Chain A
């Protein structure tokens, strides 16, 4: 037995030396931390969502089963929040993909110039800026009477817009601000994809007399699709959490025109103290996230292994 052991491949030997105690030492802190900070709160949120309970009088809770959920799905404000979140997510991501692709093409063709890389570096600044500051920057620009946006429109003899104050416009403005912040992210992703394309494919296409849309359809889109799906997944998750921008600009208004799910749950929890009801809303967000995540993890692993 000893002799065979000596000739065993070194990898197996390396592996076999990691005792259980090592694994615990390395993994237990992170595992316990995540259990305490995410899994426990989520389970507790589900528990709270089955009760009628106020944050100020936690000891007086009454089990009501699924009543909060029933109320939630007959509450027009929550339904509006769901609808707005869906519209906002789809519209923002669509804009981000289209503008991101155009921007990626521009910077791809400038990739060897210093001016190009300078302009690219400057263009990606928005996505790291604190979201609450992004919201404030735009409520400054889009101030209805004194903002610079309406001033410029006025110079061009266009009627001023109630960017954040007109119920028909406010959600569009939030979508614009949101996609303004995250188009650079999509652009960088697509740029990474475009860079991976073999230059010879472009040359071959040119020799064959392919039009730009042929190149896009048959060379570029296939090359960036996997990466873009990663971006889309992460952006869906982000949009479900959208809070900061709404919190400092419209607070969900006017009316319910910019109400979004995370802000709805926050208001129920910490302004009306209806934590049972707020938790039910949070659990709905959680369930949507879990559905997306199940799909996302498989995809992230696949892209990573490519």
Chain B
């Protein structure tokens, strides 16, 4: 028995060490967001700041709220657009039987594996030629598109779980495919759809590379703003700290709420937990 207790204690200790390793860096930045500039790099470090000091947040938000708003609008719209395009495709790929179905599914998946940098210049040229550089529309359309492969593939894994009999019954009642999809399959897959949508939201929320060259001023997203706090002459750490905390809020909430689905989500439904 004592051996078991010792093992349990050892495991708890191990768990605490692991938790420390993976949270301490984030917490350190969180603490910095409450420090005035002089304390951010003081030696010895200020371990516990005055949490009443909200000056960094106030300055950051008053100067950059419109870019945070851009990020929210772009991310939400891209997620919505992506779902509208992806869900019917996923439904058809699981429920319709036709030649080339597996080929189509594999092709969709293969586009998920392709590096965005290989699309960068052509996208820039096209977006530029239609005068859409630095508009939120360009980013919405492109973010939605880049997440379609992921959304289709994961949505397929939960549309497969909708019982065949239910769909057949709907068809026999005279529902068209569209009605079966909208009135039967979608309501039965609500939680799956929520999972996919949150993933797409996070991917779009975190994106930097494409936003860097598709925006210049007005349509800048929050990650682009954060990256601009690092300049060749100086780095605005008090802004970075506050911005990192704000940028992290949706992702942390998401991680804690969705942790049961993270594995199947990130492996695109290949691994279930």
Query: Which A positions have Cβ atoms within 8 angstroms of B?
Result: 10-11, 14-15, 17-18, 22-23, 25-27, 29-31, 33-34, 36-42, 44-45, 48, 55, 58, 102-103, 106-107, 109-110, 113, 115-116, 119-133, 136-141, 143, 146-148, 151, 180, 183-185, 188-189, 191-192, 195, 227, 230-231, 234, 237, 240-241, 243-244, 247-248, 262, 265-266, 269-270, 275, 278-279, 282-283, 285-286, 289-290, 292-293, 296-297, 300, 303-304
B46 to chain A, nearest CB (A): 10
Question: Is B223 a contact partner of A22 (Cβ separation < 8 A)?
Answer: no
Question: Is B43 a contact partner of A146 (Cβ separation < 8 A)?
Answer: yes
B178 proximal to A (CB < 8 A): yes
Question: Is B28 a contact partner of A37 (Cβ separation < 8 A)?
Answer: no
Residues of B close to A129: CB separation below 8 A = 26, 206, 248, 251-252
Question: Is A248 a contact partner of B227 (Cβ separation < 8 A)?
Answer: yes
How far does the alpha carbon of A198 sit from the alpha carbon of B117 in the complex, in Å? 44
Question: Is B118 a contact partner of A41 (Cβ separation < 8 A)?
Answer: yes
Question: Is A37 a contact partner of B247 (Cβ separation < 8 A)?
Answer: no
Closest A residue to B206 by beta carbon equals A130
How far does the alpha carbon of A22 sit from the alpha carbon of B88 in the complex, in Å? 10
Residues of B close to A237: CB separation below 8 A = 113, 115
Q: Per-residue 0/1 for B104-140: is the Cβ within 8 Å of any A Cβ (1 yes, 0 no)?
A: 1011111101111111111111000000000000000
Question: Is A33 a contact partner of B85 (Cβ separation < 8 A)?
Answer: yes
Question: Is B115 a contact partner of A124 (Cβ separation < 8 A)?
Answer: no
Interface residue from A30, A123, A270 paired with B213 (Cβ < 8 Å):
A270
Question: Is A293 a contact partner of B152 (Cβ separation < 8 A)?
Answer: no
Interface residues of B in 79-102 (CB under 8 A from A): 85-86, 88-89, 91-93, 95-98
Interface residue from A31, A115, A124, A275 paired with B255 (Cβ < 8 Å):
A124
Residues of A close to B145: CB separation below 8 A = 33-34, 36-38
Closest B residue to A269 by beta carbon equals B121
Q: Per-residue 0/1 for B197-225: is the Cβ within 8 Å of any A Cβ (1 yes, 0 no)?
A: 00000100110110011000000000100
Question: Is A37 a contact partner of B119 (Cβ separation < 8 A)?
Answer: yes
B204 to chain A, nearest CB (A): 11
Q: Per-residue 0/1 for B210-247: is the Cβ within 8 Å of any A Cβ (1 yes, 0 no)?
A: 00110000000001001100100001010011011001
How far does the alpha carbon of A45 sit from the alpha carbon of B104 in the complex, in Å? 23
Interface residues of B in 22-60 (CB under 8 A from A): 22-23, 25-26, 28-29, 32, 41-45
Interface residue from A17, A38, A240 paired with B111 (Cβ < 8 Å):
A38
Which of B61-69, B188-196, B259-267 makes up part of the contact surface?
A: B259-267
Residues of B close to A42: CB separation below 8 A = 114, 118-119, 122
Question: Is B208 a contact partner of A125 (Cβ separation < 8 A)?
Answer: no
B201 to chain A, nearest CB (A): 11
Question: Is A141 a contact partner of B223 (Cβ separation < 8 A)?
Answer: no
Interface residue from A14, A106, A113 paired with B167 (Cβ < 8 Å):
A14
Question: Is A26 a contact partner of B164 (Cβ separation < 8 A)?
Answer: no
The majority secondary structure among interface residues of chain B is helix
Nearest 4 interchain pairs by C-beta = A41-B119, A26-B92, A30-B89, A37-B145
Question: Is A22 a contact partner of B113 (Cβ separation < 8 A)?
Answer: no
- A-B residue pairs in contact (CB < 8 Å), sample of 26: A15-B96, A22-B178, A25-B88, A29-B85, A30-B88, A37-B123, A42-B119, A44-B125, A45-B119, A109-B8, A110-B15, A116-B11, A127-B266, A128-B252, A132-B208, A136-B29, A137-B244, A148-B45, A195-B273, A230-B271, A237-B115, A241-B117, A244-B209, A270-B120, A270-B213, A304-B270
Question: Is A296 a contact partner of B118 (Cβ separation < 8 A)?
Answer: no
Closest A residue to B272 by beta carbon equals A192
How far does the alpha carbon of A286 sit from the alpha carbon of B181 in the complex, in Å? 36
Interface residue from A26, A39, A230 paired with B267 (Cβ < 8 Å):
A230
Residues of B close to A292: CB separation below 8 A = 113
Question: Is A34 a contact partner of B108 (Cβ separation < 8 A)?
Answer: yes
How far does the alpha carbon of A120 sit from the alpha carbon of B148 in the complex, in Å? 30
Residues of A close to B254: CB separation below 8 A = 128
Residues of A close to B227: CB separation below 8 A = 132, 247-248
How far does the alpha carbon of A194 sit from the alpha carbon of B157 in the complex, in Å? 22
Question: Is B122 a contact partner of A45 (Cβ separation < 8 A)?
Answer: yes
B19 proximal to A (CB < 8 A): yes
Question: Is A22 a contact partner of B259 (Cβ separation < 8 A)?
Answer: no
With A30-B85, A132-B227, A141-B28 as given contacts, are A125 and B108 in contact (CB-CB < 8 Å)? no
- Known contacts A17-B177, A33-B144, A44-B122; 5 further A-B pairs (Cβ under 8 A): A103-B18, A133-B247, A148-B45, A237-B113, A289-B115
Interface residue from B120, B177, B235, B248 paired with A18 (Cβ < 8 Å):
B177
Question: Is A121 a contact partner of B256 (Cβ separation < 8 A)?
Answer: yes
Residues of B close to A109: CB separation below 8 A = 7-8, 11
